Structures are given as C-alpha cells and as structure tokens.
Structure 1
Amino acid sequence: MNTLGNFFWLIFGGLLFCITIVGIPLGLQHFKMILPALLPFGKKIQ
C-alpha cells in the first residue's frame, strides 16, 4: 500500500504544486526529481 501511495504522490504531487502560480517552479522541479527518486542507490543517471 505504501508503494502505491508513493507512486501517486510522484505523479499528483507535482500537479498539486502546479495549480498555483507560486507553486509552478516547485512542481516542475518535482517532475525533474521523479527519475532519480525511483532509481536504486549506486546507479548512474546519464
């Protein structure tokens, strides 16, 4: 259940931030950090 909640937070968390004008930069950064958050430790991002 926690994994499912984390997956929904990754997708809808950024959308919730993007609703307000002040939150748009935060939402965009949230979407940029999805891939590093899902990769296991020790893997390189190219």
Structure 2
Amino acid sequence: MSILGNILWFICGGLLSGLSWVLAGLICCITIIGIPFGKQFFKIAKLSLMPFGAEVI
C-alpha cells in the first residue's frame, strides 16, 4: 500500500514539493551559517518526495 501511496503522491505534487525543498536547501548552503538549515531542508525534501513508510531522524 505504501508503494501505491508514494507513486500517487509523487505524481500529484510530491515532485514539485521535493524540488522546492532542494532549491531552498541549496540556497541556504551558500553561507556557512545556513549549512545546518540546508541539511535539514534536504531531509525534508526526501520526506516530501516519498512520505509513506519514510522515517526522518
């Protein structure tokens, strides 16, 4: 069931959401102060691409 949910989520907006978080992470990683925030944005991007069955630590 989680595979089907991930596929539907990816098609219906997960791709756009994930790319937006990756772009925000890249922008934050430009400065030294923003690197910790950028790393967290990349974790959120992974979660927003395939949320069903994912775990963020």
More helix by share: 2
The structure, 1 or 2, with the larger RCO (C-alpha pairs under 8 Å, 6+ apart) is 2
State whether TM-score is above 0.5: yes
Q: TM-score, normalised by structure 1?
A: 0.61
Q: Once superposed, what is the RMSD of the aligned Cα atoms?
A: 2.3
Unaligned runs of 5+ in 1: none
Identity of aligned residues (%): 38
How many angstroms does 1:10 deviate by? Answer: 2.0
Q: TM-score, normalised by structure 2?
A: 0.52
